[in-house]
Amino acid sequence: MTPTELRAFCLGFNAAVEEFPFTPETSVFKVLGKVFALSALDADPLKVNLKCEPEQAVRLRAEHEAIVPGWHMNKRHWNTVTVGGLPDALVRELVEDSYDLVVAGLPRAERLRLDRP
């Protein structure tokens, strides 16, 4: 997966936006103001921080060398994923899981708003 593909995939989710609150190099992808992915898209290798359920985070780290505790994040809930070290389908699944976890934590009224076009 290329940086362009990762950006497009993240922005393809309902109400997803890209912001640069830290540095111009760090893309922060949010849904209704809540972060679901962070990446320096011009970095080599390409990495992305993604939210994850704690039990699954530990399992994924044990199964994949390309997945480590989230850099500068709460290590219980975030993983850093080296994109080129995993199949694209798994990266897409992890990004989608991160988005879904963040959406699940939103207030009910905001979750319902996302279901509308």
- Quote the pLDDT of residue 71: 87
Q: Looking at residue 116, what is its pLDDT?
A: 46
pLDDT value for 113: 83
Distances (CA, A) of 108 to 12, 78, 94, 101, 114: 22, 23, 23, 13, 10
pLDDT tens per residue, range 5-58: 999 999 999 999 999 999 999 999 999 999 999 999 999 999 999 999 999 999
> What is the tens place of the pLDDT at every residue in 73-88?
999 999 999 999 999 9
Using the Cα atoms of residue 60, residue 38, residue 94 and residue 109 in order, give the sign of their dihedral: positive
The answer to whether the beta carbons of residues 29 and 10 sit under 8 Å apart is: yes
Bridge partners for 28 per DSSP: 19, 38
pLDDT for the residue 46: 97
Answer whether 0.85 is exceeded by the pTM: yes
Q: Which helix (H) or strand (E) holds 82?
A: strand 78-82
Tell me what the mean pLDDT of segment 57-81 comes to.
94
Q: Do 75 and 50 form a contact (C-beta atoms < 8 A)?
A: no
- The model's pLDDT over 87-116, given as tens digits with 9 standing for 90+, comes to 999 999 999 999 999 999 999 999 888 874
CA 57 to chain CA centroid, Å, is: 13
Alpha-carbon separation of residue 43 from 3, 53, 108, 109 (angstroms): 9, 26, 36, 37
Q: Is the dihedral of CA 71, 72, 78, 84 positive or negative?
A: negative
